Structure 1
Amino acid sequence: MAANNKRPILDVHGKPYNRTAMILVLLVGTFAGMLMQTSLGTAIPTLMTSFDINLGTAQQATTWFLLANGIMVPVSAFLVTRISSKWLYWIAYTILFAGMAISAFTPARNDMWIMFLVGRMLAAIAVGITMPLMQVIMVNIFPAEERGAAMGLNGLVIGLAPAIGPTLSGWILDKNHHIFGLLISDSWRTIFYLPMAVLIVVWILTPFLVKDVLPNRKMKLDISSLILSAVGFGIFLWGFTNVSSDGWGDMKTVILPILFGVIVIIGFVLRQLKMDDPFMDVRVFKNKQFTMTTLSVMMAMMAMMGVEMMLPTYLQNVHGLSPLDSGLMLLPGALMLGLVSPIAGAVYDRVGARRLAMVGFTILAIGTLPFMFLSSSTPDVFITLLYALRMFGIAMAMMPLTASAMSAVPQEEAAHATASNNTARQVASAVVVALLASVTQDIINNNEPAKHLQVTNPLAYANDYLQASMKGFHVSFGLGFGFAVLGIIFAMFLRKGKLIAGSTNSKRVDHEEVEMEAK
């Protein structure tokens, strides 16, 4: 992946630039933003206490982030086409910093929770720009034969950052720390302070090191498409975020928003199909390989995010671990993901996505199945090993699938393919977090002991409530296992070998046999 020394690498203005320095700035900045996706997972019990809210409400810190992120990602295709890479990143980092600051400085009162969520949503809007933009840039600045390895680097952000978020939060919440002589407090606010400090440095460097590497053109903003996209995905995901607090039977806040959102999304899709210059070109889904790869990516994200968000709460509420200890138990898995992602991307350059995805999803299913039978006495080291095994499987599947999805379409369609793929990814993440949080909370509510036992027999009440919690977590982990199995099924429909995108179509390169061009 080293730059070609025989001739300089040029941006769209014909000027040479340092590709390594640019990628480093993009990776660090986007990493700081992606940390926000899961960094509050370990802090959920702390937020429940600080703001005096229940589990379902506290999970909104994640679900509303994913909601806003899911709304913004479809817009990224237009923004990438219309605004220069350098200034689009700079604007996104500015919004990201503002969102983090709002959440960090929100007063810890129940009536101020909405302010906290506003900050989360602003940060999500920024991540909804930086994440797909980095993916499009990787596709454009690296040749096709190096794309798998490039997507492996991309995986350090979209995979490792969400995975390491809970561990970092647990370390912060455990006790005071000193870094370079500065006191780092044990407040949940510090979860925002550290990425904000990194972001300031990136914000300063961006105008100097990030270059315009994507061609831009004047594209008229289709207001109708923007409204349909925002309203459709927003209301659809909002309905799912309400499930954890209102239940599946609530007509006004759950059922009607989901149904109305689906109708509006269908209208959005139909409008894009009729446009000569679509806001987000959903025609990429006519490509069977792209569609099946995207479905597989969705299953990987749902399997990862579901357990990722529920496991810290399980470890703290059932095993009685501190935020730090629960975060440390997830650290080997996060490191496993970071280690394997670049390797899996490089292996994809040789063997393609189908084999790696099937092996990855199989390992993921094997690592998830035992979670359905965990108890309060399950050894912590066993949970750590299982989690690391799961993340190994996710890394084996995720990066090759992402590279394959981008290689399934012509390079000139990369922005729309990235927007479509990431929209599906974020919708899947938002739905699964809301789904598992609601299922867990509902089962706990339906099985919790009578309140009078708190006074008459506190020990019996504590034991019965623990058993109710275990039932909820078992079902949520079981759903995670189901997503892994679906991933295996979808992976079976992928073509063998590696896809190399051409100017008008994609070619499949199999090291065992050479086949004709694939549509």
Structure 2
Amino acid sequence: MTENTNQALDIHGKPYSRVTLIVIILFATFAGMLNQTSLGTALPTLMKDFDITMATAQQATTWFLLVNGIMVPVSAFLMTKFPTKWLYQSAYALLFAGMLLSALTPADKDYWMMFIAGRALQAMAVGITMPLMQLVMVNVFPPEKRGAVMGLGGLVIGMAPAIGPTLSGWILEKDHTILGLTLSNSWRSIFVFPLIVLGLALVLGFFFLKDVIPNRNSKLDWLSLALSTLGFGSFLWGFTNVASDGWGAGQTVILPILFGIGIIGLFIWRQLVMPVPFLNVRVFMNKQFTLTTLSVSLAMMAMMGVEMMLPLYMQNVHGLTPLESGIALLPGALMMGIISPIAGIAYDKVGAKRLARVGFLILAIGTLPFLFLGIDTPVHFITLLYALRMFGIAMVMMPLTASAMSALPIEQSANGTASNNTARQIASAVVVALLTSVTQNIISHQTPVHSLQVENPIKYAAKMAQASLDGFHVSFAIGLGFALLGFLVANFLAGMHKSQVVDLQTTEEGESL
């Protein structure tokens, strides 16, 4: 494959269109990521239709997180073993089948595991397509252009999860007719748009997706696969149980986490002693890659620290509907979409260090006022602060991801993307468990006695609202802490990579002439 010529060639020497290939990948990945968060708003509807509890309904999210976390480390082997085109087509077909299975599940609690099976298939597919998208961009574009295209990837990674709750809230509000297609106010309609996009991607993929990642005839190390699945699966399963069982649950929380850590340790040791590792963890010996991956993980935790709790705050404290809370967060999602491509272009010019420092500083400034939100805080003020936070996150995420990939030789890109995404997944699982449990514990300890609800309902409601506020304030404070840590780590990042320096010098020389 040729990177620097005008005509792009795949690994077979055949010409293809970079733009068409990337557009298909971005839209299909967007559909998969959109489905990752859109069910959050629909949980009450799922509880009613399936006649299940909140803890059971949350399995739609926790199982997705669990299976996705297991699949990401496996993706490094798959991306180098199988042709890009057919790996993408297989993942799209798997994602389509998973969505269709969940959408067609009968609304009965006896069929709930059928719905979860569909979610597991979706998670397997997303666990392949997300790191594969990053690796394709690394192989298709030269280093001096990766920032801009990674910025477009920010539209997928940032906007899709943020838009998901707003879109599902809009669908659940009432029936809608789009292009002659009627979407009923049912959770099933949430799957319609992603299914249409994936169907188009499958058809267009036969013609426009190409093999752009070099393959090698590597053999699957089944022991490493088993250790990876068992270790990461147990670790993440323990954290997903925290919200329902609490940190003191030995059998379902502490034991799985400790067991998972031990198995992950064995997995890492095996990779270090193998001549050809299943997942090359030596990429973390690269200081720049490790620091950027750590920074990305902190950015994810800072983002989740507010993004997950804010809709609950607006619905529980302000009494907003799911649609209203989703609309309040929509400007932040749009901000992410606008700034991500700009940040990618800026990365090509100035490098990740400057952008990361400014981005984390803006993120911290935008998070600080959340510690002082009250019952009467205007919703438009919250929307403004949230948009400011997303501005900072957009300046951090894609430049750091591009920097992490540029820090590695091209032959280590598959292992780098898998390791980078695994770190993100673990960070997301940990912060969700941490904040949910901390918030719930504070609310539980400060909940007024039940008798007060009968004696003085107004006083009871005021105390209950204050207990919720205190819980949310602590969660927001933890999110602020991650932003400040990210700022500190960003100061240790390297400046521009070599290709950026050469490109900048060439530009300056051209201008001087």
- The answer as to whether partners of 1:41 and 1:312 remain within 8 angstroms in 2 is no
Q: Partner residue of 2:91? A: 92
* Distance (whole Å) between structure 1 residues aligned to residue 340 and residue 430 of structure 2: 25
- Deviation by residue 1:82-129 (Cα, 9 ceiling, x = unmatched): 111111011111111122223323344556544433322221110010
Q: Partner residue of 2:436? A: 437
Q: Partner residue of 2:30? A: 31
* Distance (whole Å) between structure 2 residues aligned to residue 6 and residue 120 of structure 1: 42
* Distance (whole Å) between structure 1 residues aligned to residue 503 and residue 165 of structure 2: 39
- Deviation by residue 1:154-187 (Cα, 9 ceiling, x = unmatched): 1111122112222212221222211112211222
One-letter code aligned to 2:379: D
Q: Which moved more, 1:340-349 or 1:186-195?
A: 186-195
- The answer as to whether partners of 1:356 and 1:397 remain within 8 angstroms in 2 is yes
- Deviation by residue 1:128-168 (Cα, 9 ceiling, x = unmatched): 10010010000001111111111111111112211222221
* Distance (whole Å) between structure 1 residues aligned to residue 410 and residue 148 of structure 2: 17
Change (3 A) 1:6 1:142: closer
- Deviation by residue 1:210-236 (Cα, 9 ceiling, x = unmatched): 111111121100000000000000000
CA RMSD in angstroms, aligned pairs only: 2.3
Q: Partner residue of 1:305? A: 304
**Where do 5+ consecutive residues of structure 2 fail to align?**
506-513
- The answer as to whether partners of 2:3 and 2:140 remain within 8 angstroms in 1 is no
- The answer as to whether partners of 1:349 and 1:498 remain within 8 angstroms in 2 is no
Q: Which moved more, 1:251-260 or 1:459-468?
A: 459-468
Q: CA deviation at 1:362?
A: 0.6
Change (3 A) 1:357 1:55: farther
Q: Partner residue of 1:504? A: none
- The answer as to whether partners of 2:367 and 2:479 remain within 8 angstroms in 1 is yes
Change (3 A) 1:43 1:447: farther
Q: Partner residue of 2:510? A: none
* Distance (whole Å) between structure 2 residues aligned to residue 30 and residue 457 of structure 1: 52
- The answer as to whether partners of 1:149 and 1:349 remain within 8 angstroms in 2 is yes
- The answer as to whether partners of 1:45 and 1:313 remain within 8 angstroms in 2 is no
Q: Partner residue of 2:125? A: 126
- The answer as to whether partners of 1:361 and 1:393 remain within 8 angstroms in 2 is yes
Q: Partner residue of 1:229? A: 228
* Distance (whole Å) between structure 2 residues aligned to residue 510 and residue 7 of structure 1: 20
Q: Secondary structure at the match of 1:139?
A: helix
Q: Partner residue of 1:349? A: 348
* Distance (whole Å) between structure 2 residues aligned to residue 101 and residue 312 of structure 1: 28
- The answer as to whether partners of 1:353 and 1:401 remain within 8 angstroms in 2 is yes
Q: Secondary structure at the match of 2:87?
A: helix
* Distance (whole Å) between structure 1 residues aligned to residue 363 and residue 331 of structure 2: 15
Q: Partner residue of 2:317? A: 318
| TM alignment of 1:156-305, pairs within 5 A | 156-305=155-304
Q: Secondary structure at the match of 2:308?
A: helix
Q: Secondary structure at the match of 1:151?
A: helix
- The answer as to whether partners of 1:174 and 1:322 remain within 8 angstroms in 2 is no
Q: Which moved more, 1:471-480 or 1:443-452?
A: 443-452
* Distance (whole Å) between structure 2 residues aligned to residue 220 and residue 430 of structure 1: 30
Q: CA deviation at 1:50?
A: 4.7
* Distance (whole Å) between structure 1 residues aligned to residue 4 and residue 405 of structure 2: 27
Q: Partner residue of 1:12? A: 11
Change (3 A) 1:117 1:482: farther
* Distance (whole Å) between structure 1 residues aligned to residue 116 and residue 167 of structure 2: 21
* Distance (whole Å) between structure 1 residues aligned to residue 416 and residue 383 of structure 2: 36
Q: Secondary structure at the match of 2:177?
A: strand
- The answer as to whether partners of 2:33 and 2:161 remain within 8 angstroms in 1 is yes
- The answer as to whether partners of 1:407 and 1:500 remain within 8 angstroms in 2 is no
- The answer as to whether partners of 1:498 and 1:509 remain within 8 angstroms in 2 is no
Q: Secondary structure at the match of 1:39?
A: helix
* Distance (whole Å) between structure 1 residues aligned to residue 404 and residue 22 of structure 2: 21
Q: Secondary structure at the match of 2:266?
A: helix
Q: Partner residue of 2:448? A: 449
Q: What percentage of residue pairs aligned between the two structures are identical?
A: 66
Q: CA deviation at 1:490?
A: 1.0
* Distance (whole Å) between structure 1 residues aligned to residue 458 and residue 191 of structure 2: 38
Q: Partner residue of 1:515? A: none
Q: Secondary structure at the match of 1:336?
A: helix
Change (3 A) 1:466 1:166: same
- The answer as to whether partners of 2:302 and 2:482 remain within 8 angstroms in 1 is yes
Q: CA deviation at 1:46?
A: 4.1
* Distance (whole Å) between structure 2 residues aligned to residue 508 and residue 227 of structure 1: 44
- The answer as to whether partners of 1:166 and 1:312 remain within 8 angstroms in 2 is no
Q: Does 1:490 align with 2:500?
A: no
- The answer as to whether partners of 2:145 and 2:348 remain within 8 angstroms in 1 is yes
* Distance (whole Å) between structure 2 residues aligned to residue 63 and residue 478 of structure 1: 24
- The answer as to whether partners of 1:351 and 1:498 remain within 8 angstroms in 2 is no
Q: CA deviation at 1:349?
A: 0.6
* Distance (whole Å) between structure 1 residues aligned to residue 387 and residue 420 of structure 2: 26
Change (3 A) 1:224 1:499: farther
Q: Which moved more, 1:453-462 or 1:95-104?
A: 453-462
Q: Partner residue of 1:330? A: 329
Q: Partner residue of 2:400? A: 401
Q: Which moved more, 1:170-179 or 1:404-413?
A: 170-179
Q: Partner residue of 1:101? A: 100
- The answer as to whether partners of 2:302 and 2:483 remain within 8 angstroms in 1 is yes
Q: Secondary structure at the match of 1:377?
A: coil
Q: Secondary structure at the match of 1:189?
A: helix
Higher helix share: 2
* Distance (whole Å) between structure 2 residues aligned to residue 10 and residue 117 of structure 1: 41
Q: CA deviation at 1:4?
A: 9.3
Change (3 A) 1:189 1:477: farther
One-letter code aligned to 2:277: P
Q: Secondary structure at the match of 2:187?
A: coil
- The answer as to whether partners of 2:335 and 2:391 remain within 8 angstroms in 1 is yes
Q: CA deviation at 1:498?
A: 3.3
Change (3 A) 1:283 1:415: same
- The answer as to whether partners of 2:3 and 2:142 remain within 8 angstroms in 1 is no
- The answer as to whether partners of 2:176 and 2:184 remain within 8 angstroms in 1 is yes
* Distance (whole Å) between structure 2 residues aligned to residue 54 and residue 372 of structure 1: 31
- Deviation by residue 1:6-64 (Cα, 9 ceiling, x = unmatched): 75321111111122111111111011011122223333444455555565554443333
Q: CA deviation at 1:291?
A: 0.3
* Distance (whole Å) between structure 2 residues aligned to residue 49 and residue 317 of structure 1: 19
Q: Partner residue of 2:508? A: none
One-letter code aligned to 1:28: F
Q: Which moved more, 1:93-102 or 1:354-363?
A: 93-102
Q: Partner residue of 1:155? A: 154
Q: CA deviation at 1:370?
A: 1.2
* Distance (whole Å) between structure 1 residues aligned to residue 313 and residue 47 of structure 2: 14
* Distance (whole Å) between structure 1 residues aligned to residue 369 and residue 426 of structure 2: 27
Q: CA deviation at 1:196?
A: 1.3
* Distance (whole Å) between structure 2 residues aligned to residue 57 and residue 446 of structure 1: 24
Q: Which moved more, 1:374-383 or 1:462-471?
A: 462-471
- The answer as to whether partners of 2:336 and 2:393 remain within 8 angstroms in 1 is yes
* Distance (whole Å) between structure 1 residues aligned to residue 91 and residue 64 of structure 2: 15
Change (3 A) 1:435 1:117: farther
